[in-house]
Structure 1
């Protein structure tokens, strides 16, 4: 298998559990004396809780971060191995968001190849907006880089990596210290080598494009609940303290154990004390494995925008962006509402999402494998996708929003595709894993691609039609039924329902979309529609 899918990246965000590793004696961490629950639970504010219907970012939005610019909030999130890289979303109320672009809408930064994780968007006191992000260095390891823009919507200029330790460096977070000096916090990815995971701090240059001085360890994983890692730091100041919210334990997949803790310090460089009632944000019957987000205040209310899996969809949809409210207790610690869990009220996914390919550009919700951007164009209300022979061919996908949905598209003139070229609709995990209904060469085929090994599950003669309607229906996230129709009204199934449990990578949800594979030619699609149940 390629290096990028080796054991080392799998443990980078805590997918694989390990015994907790203790800090050395000199690590600057204190344990808070035990508090009586009545005192700890007494809130300092009497504001009524905010009604929240999650997810506020429906679909695969891991590691979300948020910053405020004037009256507008801006957010971004992990894209991992999907491009374009790092979405840019805006909102005026933290609950209703619109996708307006990407930090890197075209080519990825030249120094990095994949694993675009944990972008922290920050509108700095100097008037610029920065995105501190994680990526895998070409020929190296994970590193924290930075890009900047004069406006939060961009365009962004990349400044390259800031820090890349031998074991990897991830989850950069910028914060001024008590004297106003800018610092970068990050996690050393020690769990990739069965080591502890220190949270480091080091001063940033005035232009925020390099680190200066010496780094200082703030704390590391020492508590049993933290498992083999602490990561995703987010810092706010309140009541004379710096408060660091952080995630710990296993982030991803059906066996995840993620939760959120907090520590505080009078000075940014410590000493830090972890709250003895950690974790403060844990799973409930609607949301699982909440963590890795940014704390933010609005109108006297405090929230964390973070990710979690929705029960019933788990890794098939991915880690969605959710908003959880917390208050400050009389003892000065944050306490999340809803029994220490994310609000249970669920917002339904949009009933129908359609793309008529009216142009002039492809909508920002479409994605592609970050290492293999396909060639495509919009013309006369159609999408033209140029076939490619390697890997999974040319692939364009959209994040799924629910565990049960129907996706349809119309492939124009499939009989005209060149010899050896096929095109159609697909459920996409990554270029090595997909289920696809494709037309070409006089036949229809239902093809499973699993670890780059192909298997034809069913086939049928290609109907004589100028346009062929193709459909995939997903039930519960892992059962995919494919069908075709010459008229879009009467559907013929192709093969039995296929098991798609192998599709989602460990850190991503499934996409649904369009494919074109072969030595040449262009496939033309006239419409794509996603109906959620």
Structure 2
């Protein structure tokens, strides 16, 4: 008797992906020729770190358990940025298997020194602190140089003028913590080539600038040598609404450091929560001096659509730094972080063909035959399950499904606007019941919507919306809307998801037909950090999966 042949593996062909952002606050604050618009990187671009190399500026952000990890962006004017690569872009560099989506690579810092770029980072629950290097910031970057003696998170590197090199980091305080969130900033001298410790660590900050007030989560440290002073800047208060930035200085890199009496040098936590179009949770700043001698700060912030609800994640903002009595100040008193401000006096960067701020419509292009650098997968692929042909992306359906916490067949890009639309056309040949392909909007493994074309197992098809709104639910979520569709196998189907703040609408369109609403006013708050937790923002993704 002949052996039964294995069932064919279904594949989904996506022939386009169109993203549209239409935030009213961007339209109302369109910059003039001598202005720029905040955020400079809209959507899930948290924990920015900035460095200058000649007349060029480079910036990196956290990506947690998304892959490739740690985008590298380039600009000549600090306003218009182009992604030139990713630091973590080889599958064997780091292992994110089994990690929650908000673990992995936290808070990278980038430095340039004598022709080499350095990124220091933490792989949380996957190895600890490490440094990678490159002579070209577009890559390739070295394999991780692990720092086993450096605990905690948020490492950064400081190159002193005398040739000594230091690593600083957030870690536990000396002795028993005095309260929840009590942390410390430590500094140690390291070997300039191996980055291994060659001296005992020195305590720079214990708790925060006013330990009697029990400050929490001192983190994200940077040291800058400016004139005769060493300036130490760090975030305080946690990365939510109480976030802030503080500064201290010393005449010796090892301290002792004196805190600025007017700290914090940036926060928005004291401003009215009901102010119009608020920018909140600002902090985690890094500063750099431009060619004209002016100083600028990049930092993270969020744009809630209600209370502390936001789906776009923590974004990257830019503000000028002013100096008063020898101290750098960013936003003080009742000053608000601005949606537009006077631009730096720098040569204009060419605007990227992938816009990163303001309102825009972008038709994604897969014609290069490789995944564009701003597209990501959940965790690190162990096999090749996507390919390209004739400008389309072809995704193989696999049994690793959305919601399981594994490595599903999904490629995703950031939701960058509170009001956004994602549209795609999929051609899918499901083999059996449970085969599904379509368009998802995802905040984590436990909070997402999936709009997909399904086989009903009898030669008929349906379009469904699947919702998962918590870890205790069915791991794949529940079908909350379904419509059988009269179409032949191999016909293209248009799918669309529209975000309007906390309301998401789901549509489909048959060949030569009109758009049909499948589900309207779905609860978008399940895609917010406030509901889902973690540190990431929502992403739109193209996926294909099978139940077997």
TM-score range (shorter-chain normalised) is 0.7 to 0.9
1:355 aligns with 2:355: no
Using the size of structure 2 for normalisation, the TM-score is 0.78
Offset of 1:375 from its aligned partner? Answer: 1.8
Cα distance, 1:198–1:416 mapped onto 2, change above 3 Å: closer
Q: Is the 8 A contact 2:71 2:83 kept in 1?
A: yes
1:376 aligns with 2:386: yes
Alignment of 1:414-429 (within 5 A): 414-429=428-443
1:386 aligns with 2:386: no
Aligned match of 1:150 in 112, 125, 135? Answer: 135
Q: Which residue of 2 aligns with 1:72?
A: 56
Q: Which residue of 1 aligns with 2:494?
A: 469
Find the aligned partners of 1:147 and 1:61 in 2 and give their Cα distance. Answer: 20
Mean Cα deviation higher: 260-269 or 101-110: 101-110
Using the size of structure 1 for normalisation, the TM-score is 0.80
Aligned match of 1:159 in 144, 156, 171? Answer: 144
Offset of 1:238 from its aligned partner? Answer: 2.1
Aligned match of 2:282 in 280, 283, 290? Answer: 290
1:117 aligns with 2:106: yes
Find the aligned partners of 1:405 and 1:211 in 2 and give their Cα distance. Answer: 48
Find the aligned partners of 1:194 and 1:87 in 2 and give their Cα distance. Answer: 32
Cα distance, 1:54–1:363 mapped onto 2, change above 3 Å: same
Find the aligned partners of 1:417 and 1:367 in 2 and give their Cα distance. Answer: 27
Mean Cα deviation higher: 295-304 or 284-293: 284-293
Q: Is the 8 A contact 2:93 2:144 kept in 1?
A: no
Alignment of 1:329-368 (within 5 A): 329=324, 331-336=325-330, 340-345=335-340, 349-368=358-377
Q: Unaligned regions of 5+ residues in structure 2, if any?
A: 1-33, 98-102, 342-355, 403-407, 456-460
Find the aligned partners of 2:40 and 2:252 in 1 and give their Cα distance. Answer: 33
Alignment of 1:144-293 (within 5 A): 144-163=129-148, 168-177=151-160, 179-188=162-171, 194=180, 196-222=182-208, 223=210, 227-252=215-240, 256-283=241-268, 286-293=278-285
Aligned match of 1:457 in 480, 503, 507? Answer: 480
Q: Unaligned regions of 5+ residues in structure 1, if any?
A: 1-49, 521-533
Q: Which residue of 1 aligns with 2:467?
A: 448
Q: Greater relative contact order (Cα 8 A, min sep 6): structure 1 or 2?
A: 2
Alignment of 1:28-67 (within 5 A): 51-67=35-51
Offset of 1:112 from its aligned partner? Answer: 6.2
Cα distance, 1:226–1:179 mapped onto 2, change above 3 Å: farther
Cα distance, 1:344–1:496 mapped onto 2, change above 3 Å: closer
Q: Is the 8 A contact 2:160 2:225 kept in 1?
A: no
Offset of 1:519 from its aligned partner? Answer: 4.5
Q: Is the 8 A contact 2:430 2:436 kept in 1?
A: no
Q: Is the 8 A contact 1:439 1:462 kept in 2?
A: no
Deviations 1:22-45 (A, max 9, x none): xxxxxxxxxxxxxxxxxxxxxxxx
Offset of 1:306 from its aligned partner? Answer: 1.1
Find the aligned partners of 1:249 and 1:501 in 2 and give their Cα distance. Answer: 24
Offset of 1:67 from its aligned partner? Answer: 1.2
